[in-house]
Amino acid sequence: AAKSAGRGRVVVFDPSMRAAVVERRELERELQGALAGGQLRLVYQPVVGLAGSTVVGFEALLRWSSPTLGPISPDRFVPVAEDLDLIGEIGAWVLREACATAAEWRRRSGGSELTMAVNVSAVQLASPDLVGQITEALAASGLPASALILEVTETALVRDPDGAAERLAALRALGVRLALDDFGTGYSSLSYLRQFTVDVLKIDRSFISTIQSDELPPIVRGLIDLGRTLDLEIVAEGVETAVQRDQLAAARCELAQGYLFAPPLEADEAARLLLGSPPLAAAAR
Ligand code: C2E
Ligand code: MG
Ligand code: MG
Ligand code: MG
């Protein structure tokens, strides 16, 4: 019946739209079993102190490799996980895994001050389960709350600013730190800074990529100055060139992430980088 009823309507549906719908259904089906099937993992991108090029922490980034669909970016599957009501379960796993890993790395590196940043989506932030999930992940791992940074985007705050302010305050009361991710790309960045208490500003890659010569673009300087005035830690995202690094260091931006230093790394690679064992190639010599 669906076939005959659909016959006349197929023409209003261009083939690429049909393909998109089929693809989305397939994605939904595969995602249902991804967590239980062990198809999700975290990779870790170093956060580097620009003064000494030291690794001060990591950002945990979710990866999904589907046996049938291949690797799929979190920008694509996180919104689907939200729609399917799977993000709570997945997010809880991310928190447990990231906290356990950070606690282990801190132990192995002898009481370091290493931080771990975890991304939290709008739907996660709106969920009453989040505080409990964080409390559990910290308790299970033994990671001090101050070592955990939750990254939220401005768009996550836009839907329900009052509710968000309340939840962020509850999270901060646990002792975890909050970062405003992709800063500068949202609707009204400045008013958010007044309304929400955060600890860290992550300047979006779209601004960092405008640094192309010895002259620091005024907007980038403005963002750094703003963070400093408000006594926030500033992280530059997506640093890809030495010119960008040098300009940011000269402007006294303390922290950076980006392909220039390291891409997101598999857990064992990140541990090797952090704990300073010789890279395999060097050890073989
Ligand atoms: P984000 O939190 O802003 O993460 C930064 C993205 O930039 C990451 O993409 C990272 O791999 C990429 N990146 C890092 N350095 C560079 C660079 O130098 N150049 C370029 N071109 N890109 C760089 P990724 O891993 O694909 O993640 C995309 C987004 O997905 C994240 O943006 C975050 O919003 C979301 N996401 C990732 N993991 C999670 C998670 O566990 N939970 C939730 N809710 N969202 C997540
Ligand atoms: Mg982030
Ligand atoms: Mg970001
Ligand atoms: Mg982003």
Give the pair of three-digit tokens for residue 34.
């991804």
Q: What is the pLDDT of residues 31-65, one digit of tens each?
A: 999 999 999 999 999 999 998 889 999 999 999 99
Give the pair of three-digit tokens for residue 56.
């001060």
Query: Are 208 and 258 contacting, i.e. CB atoms less than 8 angstroms apart?
Result: yes
User: Across the chain, how many H-helices and E-strands are there?
Assistant: 14, 9
Mutate which of 41, 119, 123 for ligand 1? The one with the most ligand atoms within 8 Å of its CB, which is 119
Q: Is 107 exposed, middle or buried (0-12, 13-18, 19+ CB in 10 A)?
A: exposed
Atom number of ligand 1 nearest to Cα 74:
30
pTM score above 0.80: yes
Kindly report the protein residue whose alpha carbon is nearest to atom 22 of ligand 1: 238
Query: Are 255 and 88 contacting, i.e. CB atoms less than 8 angstroms apart?
Result: no
Q: 85 C-alpha to center of ligand 3: Å?
A: 23
Kindly report the protein residue whose alpha carbon is nearest to atom 4 of ligand 1: 61
Q: 237 C-alpha to center of ligand 1: Å?
A: 10
**Ligand whose nearest atom lies closest to the CA of 94:** 1
List the alpha helices (DSSP H) in 154-201. 154-158, 161-173, 189-195
pLDDT mean over 234-255: 96
Q: 202 C-alpha to center of ligand 3: Å?
A: 7
Residue type, 212: Q
Task: Provide the pLDDT for residue 227.
Answer: 93
Cα three-residue angle 160-197-147, rounded to 5 degrees: 110
pLDDT band, residue 181 (cuts 50/70/90): very high
Residue that the structure tokens 């016959």 belong to: 7
**Cα–Cα distance for residue pair 209/239, rounded to 1 Å:** 7
- Note whether ipTM > 0.95 here: yes
**Ligand whose nearest atom lies closest to the CA of 60:** 1
Residue that the structure tokens 């928190």 belong to: 95
Q: What is the pLDDT of residues 128-153, one digit of tens each?
A: 899 999 999 999 999 999 999 999 98
Q: Which residues fall within 8 angstroms of residue 140, CB to CB, at 6 or more apart? A: 96, 99, 100
Task: Provide the pLDDT for residue 12.
Answer: 65
Kindly report the protein residue whose alpha carbon is nearest to atom 45 of ligand 1: 119
Give the pair of three-digit tokens for residue 264.
């997101």
> Which residues have a beta carbon within 5 Å of ligand 4, which is an ion?
182
Q: 11 C-alpha to center of ligand 1: Å?
A: 38
The pocket around ligand 1, CB under 6 angstroms, is made up of 45, 61-62, 73-75, 78, 94, 119-121, 151, 181-182, 205, 238, 240, 257-259, 264
